Amino acid sequence: MPDSFSQRLLQAIGAERERRAPPADFPALPPLPAGRYRDPAFLALERDALWRGGWLYAGHADELPAPGSFLVWDRLGAPVILLRHPDGEPRAFFNACRHRGGPLVDAKSGCLDTQLRCRYHGWSYDFDGRLSGLRDRRDFPQLAPADCRLASLRCERFGNWIFVNADPEAEPLRDWLGPVGDYFERLDLDSLRLVHRELFDINCNFKILLEGFLEVYHLGNVHTGTVDRFLDYRATLMLLWPRGHSCMLTANRSRDWQDPGARGMPEIGGATDLERHNNPSLHLFPNLVTPVAATGLPFNLLWPQGDERSLLEVLWFAPGWGDGERPALWERRIENYNRILREDIELVERIQENLRSPGMPDPLLGYAERRIYYWHEQLDQRIGAERIPPGLRVPPRLNALVTEDWP
Ligand code: FES
Ligand SMILES: [Fe+2]
């Protein structure tokens, strides 16, 4: 990526601040059918299509420190073992024995010597998932141990971030990341460690919360005492990328502003004025949003918990501090961020209540909310538009704006 990358983006953000209307060729966006948030048949289609293929963030290498380290990733209701193979790379297996589905690990995390061993009848598997030990072999004359493997998921790493994909034919993670990967490769990703994890239970369909992360139009009402004081929501550049990914780069109101919660923290190697004086927020379809600061970044991951509840998982990554306790500065930074999230959460739960109201409209989207429309277009593509009842479809409007490139 050329050195002028940040400069070009800063110019493009400045041009957004000055615009007086959407571009002349920007299409009118039809309202989003409200049934997409509450119709059981639609939600069932969404559930099947959205989470069973496609790369999903699952863990960080810090959580798998040694060969044999594992954790159980259970965000989608099917427990998956993430395991560090002795070759250094992660593997992902469903936590279900090939015999009769017994659990291979019980703890949420730990470290295994050389094998996975089922608790029910003791069948064991090596770290490639091959059956390596079978008690009373004489009773299974038909079984060919070499063909007996744990069901696995694709599992790949970008920096220290580990993603899984249930589709064995999926394209490689780096190809799927596209421009999001280009952006992050400017930064010293290997220096980022997992600083903190926080979970929020939220009473709304996960899309309602996600949509709040895809626009800054609400800053001037919901975050008047927080984000709106330092981010200039009108100075926002948005880019729509293939596969449903997108980004939003918003300028700080003043070049002098510095996040008081991040003062004194080291910068990520490779960070520039783009991160120092703006908020680049990247979205990986379907459920990861990360607003990047020069000193660190939270991953906001949204997971459905049924149709009317969701889990927001916030993971903080930042340059390490050597050995010892986490610097005390982090308490304030995390609390500042959580305060902003609580402003969002309080609001989105009201919208969920309104989904039951005859007064709930089909949401209307303005130009600054086009990433939301794009997200829904992508959902329909995943489901297959022909499978969706016509009244609940989102007709594609934004194809012409989708680009592989940065400005
Ligand atoms: S279910 Fe695993 S050994 Fe029987
Ligand atoms: Fe918000």
Query: Could you tell me the domains of the chain?
Result: 5-53+178-401 (3.90.380.10), 56-159 (2.102.10.10)
| Ligand 1 midpoint to CA 124 (Å) | 9
pLDDT of residue 179: 96
Is residue 135 lining ligand 1, measured as CB closer than 6 Å? no
| Ligand 2 midpoint to CA 158 (Å) | 27
- Given a cut of 50, the residues of the chain with pLDDT beneath it are 1-2
3-class DSSP string for the chain? CCCCHHHHHHHHHHHHHHCCCCCCCCCCCCCCCHHHHCCHHHHHHHHHHHHCCCCEEEEEHHHCCCCCEEEEECCCCCCEEEEECCCCCEEEEECCCCCCCCCCCCCCEEECCCCEECCCCCCEECCCCEEEECCCHHHCCCCCHHHCECCEEEEEEECCEEEEECCCCCCCHHHHHCHHHHHHHCCCHHHEEEEEEEEEEECCCHHHHHHHHCCCCCHHHHCCCCHHHHEEEEEEEEEECHHHCEEEEEEECCCCCCCCCCCCCCCCCCCCHHHHCEEEEEEECCCEEEECECCEEEEEEEEECCCCCEEEEEEEEEECCCCCCCCCHHHHHHHHHHHHHHHHHHHHHHHHHHCCCCCCCCCCCCHHHHHHHHHHHHHHHHHCHHHCCHHHCCCCCCHHHECCCCC
Instruction: Give the C-alpha separation, 144 to 130, whole Å.
Output: 11
| Ligand 1 midpoint to CA 102 (Å) | 5
Tell me: cis bond preceding 286? Omega within 30 of 0 counts. Answer: yes
252 in Cβ contact with 236 (< 8 Å) = no
pLDDT of residue 400: 97
pLDDT of residue 1: 47
| Ligand 2 midpoint to CA 110 (Å) | 36
Is residue 253 lining ligand 1, measured as CB closer than 6 Å? no
Which ligand is nearest to the Cα of residue 281, counting in written order? 2
Among 81, 93, 100, 104, which residue has the most ligand 1 atoms within 8 Å of its CB, making it the best to mutate? 100
Among 99, 106, 135, which residue has the most ligand 1 atoms within 8 Å of its CB, making it the best to mutate? 99
321 in Cβ contact with 327 (< 8 Å) = yes
pLDDT of residue 16: 94
pLDDT of residue 3: 60
156 in Cβ contact with 59 (< 8 Å) = no
Is residue 120 lining ligand 1, measured as CB closer than 6 Å? yes
Instruction: Give the C-alpha separation, 74 to 58, whole Å.
Output: 9
| Ligand 1 midpoint to CA 117 (Å) | 9
pLDDT of residue 87: 97
Provide the whole-model pTM.
0.96
